[in-house]
Amino acid sequence: MNIAMLGSGAWGTALANLLCENGHTVTLWTRSAQRAADMARSRINPRLEGVPLHPNLQFSSDLSCAQSCQMTVLATPSYAIRQTAAAVRELLPKDALLVSVTKGIESGTGLRITQIIEEETGLRAAALSGPSHAEEVSRNIPTGCVAACADISMAEQIQDVFMNDSFRVYASGDVVGVELSAALKNVIALCAGVCDGLGLGDNTKALLVTRGLTELARLGIVLGGRQETFAGLAGVGDMIVTCTSMHSRSGASWILIGQGVPVRQAMEQVGAVVEGYYAAKSAYELSRKVGVEMPISREAYAVLYEGKAPAETIRTLMRRDKKHEFEDAGWL
């Protein structure tokens, strides 16, 4: 199969390598002609350090590389998805399989990534998500993900294209639950990082992750997701891997903020897109729009956008009104 991978970050590059290993003809697109030339010459992408690029992987800075492809995978940062989808709209075959591997919610509209792609291209889009660090996938460490689409046959096609001995894919019809889990777990990952930055312990992180998953699921079910999705790979699986690993950029930046580094400075110091920063705003906006209580996400927003001290958010959350554990869980 001819496949275009739009986005040359670590995740797009790892998946492009994987697809080449599966025998597909893959072109990795980047905005920079110089970067495309450098990768073609060196067979290295600095964004995925130490990983040799597959000898059959091709490179381009021209979106027309998607023109003859049966599948196009969008792997750009969330803020660039709408622009990229609009730019490639006239180039895509009408029967192209479109797959989003980007995690995020659009600020202002509250749209999920596949909704943005569908709005801009007029074609159906699927999501591929789950607990998957690019660094580990590129080293063929066993990994499991979920391909989700309202059209389950499309999810099954994606399953066939991506699966191999080290990358297992499950099919799901719950694109709403999978995408919301993917985007909003980054908020809790940021908060897990602040626990480390503040010098807090495993008890605190366990409390945070458990209650964070509860509020994510509460919102997701109201928006049309299935409760079992939040207990699966896309939900609790992705939450675990993002909150417990130093591979996570969100966690790394938030550790600095917990140590007192200003938000903008911390993100610049990490030197990469921190999706949780944008996800916190989206979670806050969505929860207000549909009237769902999300106290952890609200406090993350307060720190990121309102200048609240991280230590103060801990006190706010711990002194909330008393509750029964499952009275507002909804999904349990």
DSSP SS3 for 163: coil
How far apart are alpha carbons 183 and 267 in whole angstroms?
18
> How many whole angstroms separate alpha carbon 263 and alpha carbon 7?
26
Task: Judge contact between 62 and 88, C-beta under 8 A.
Answer: no
How many residues make up the chain in this entry? Answer: 332
Question: Would you give the DSSP letter of residue 320?
Answer: S
Other Cβ atoms less than 10 A from the Cβ of 64: the count is 12
List, in order, residues 6 or more apart from 232 with CB less than 8 Å away. Answer: 146, 170
Catalytic-role residue among 185, 281, 289, 322: 185
Query: C-alpha 49: how far from its chain's center?
Result: 20
**Which among 171, 187, 178 is positioned nearest to 130, based on CA atoms?**
178
Question: Does the active-site annotation cover 205?
Answer: no
Contact 102, 78 (CB under 8 A): yes
Which sequence positions are flagged as catalytic? 185
